[in-house]
Each structure stands twice: as structure tokens, then as C-alpha cells.
Structure 1
């Protein structure tokens, strides 16, 4: 059985002065103008999640990738794993203060991971 033919909405047009179009094109940073205009209008009417999923420049990609790599290559997750291993082997005795600090540090690492996951999902970014 064949799928029904997808019906596309009729195209719309916008009249814009050349100077304004040039500014829009520069602001779009390589993004298709149709998607850029839709994202900007959505943002203006209060749908910020839609603009986040549309506008992500090459510089944004590089910055996010660099930050994500720095988190993964950083010493904090590795150090937390080493502390957990020592605790599991009972080679380290934990006081209540140390336990509270470790829980706080783990919470920060988890929060940062969730932020990257949210960014990746909303902006269609792949680390």
C-alpha cells in the first residue's frame, strides 16, 4: 500500500529591504533563511525552546564540543571514580563531612551532564 501524498502548505513571502535582508543573513550564520525567520518569530511570541532547536552556529558547535570534551577529560569524574573504588574496597574511611562533600561533587557532575544532554537534545547537537 502506498503512503498518502504529503500536502505542503502554500509558500509565504516576506518583503524586506536589502539592508535588512543582509543583516538577517549575517545573523542567520549559514542557517536557511526560512528556518531562521520561523525561529525568530517563534522566539518573539514566547516559544524560546523552538529557537534553541534552530539556531546553532559553527562557533556554538565548536564551543559546546570543546566544553563537553573538557568535562570528559577532566580530573573530577576520574577522581570521583577513584574515590568510589577506594570506598568499595574499604581502603578509605569516610566521615560524614567527606560523604557530604562527595555527594555534592557528584551532584554537580550529574547536573553538568544533564545540562549537556538538554543542550544536545534541544539544539540537535552531537558531541
Structure 2
């Protein structure tokens, strides 16, 4: 039966001294193992979604973009705003609210797919 390769950890002099002080009379390797494998040891890496889940979220966003005319509608609104001919009526106000909701959903979904908090 072969043994796994040893694990190496490089420390500067101050780090080594601090580790030895924390270990007390316990051998360093035993102390390090007790800290690392403790049930309450902090976990720093967040589990990422599987690529399949990320791809599903990204595909959903692309599908929404393909079905939506929001980009064109916002472009037309910007054009009229720049020309000074923008008239805000109830229909336009509703279109703007819908566009804001769509963009907000897309941002949140993209952040989620990338494993970032929004």
C-alpha cells in the first residue's frame, strides 16, 4: 500500500512562532490536523453551482432577451428623450416599469449564475 505524498506548508518566522505557541506541547502536525478537521472549522469557499445550473440560468436570460423588445423600446425612448420629444403617458410609464423589472431580473440572475451576491 503506497502512502500519499506529504503536504508542505511554508511559513515565515513569525507565523511559525505563532503556530508553535498556539500548539503548546502538542506536536505541530497534530495541532494543525486538529484545527483543520474540527467540525466547527470555518469554511471559506462557497460551493459554486454546477456548470449545468449556470448554463440553465444563462440560457433563460438569453431566451428572455430574444423574446423581449425591451432593448429596442429603451432605445426609442432614449432617442425621443434626446430629441426633446418624449411624452410620458401611462403606456410609456408602464413600459418603463416593465423594462426596469426585466433588467433587474436579468442582473440578479446573472449575478446568481456567476455565484455573486447581488
More helix by share: 1
Q: Normalising TM by the smaller chain, what interval?
A: 0.3 to 0.5
Rg bigger for which structure? 2
Higher RCO (Cα < 8 Å, 6 or more apart) = 2
* TM-score, normalised via structure 2 length: 0.47
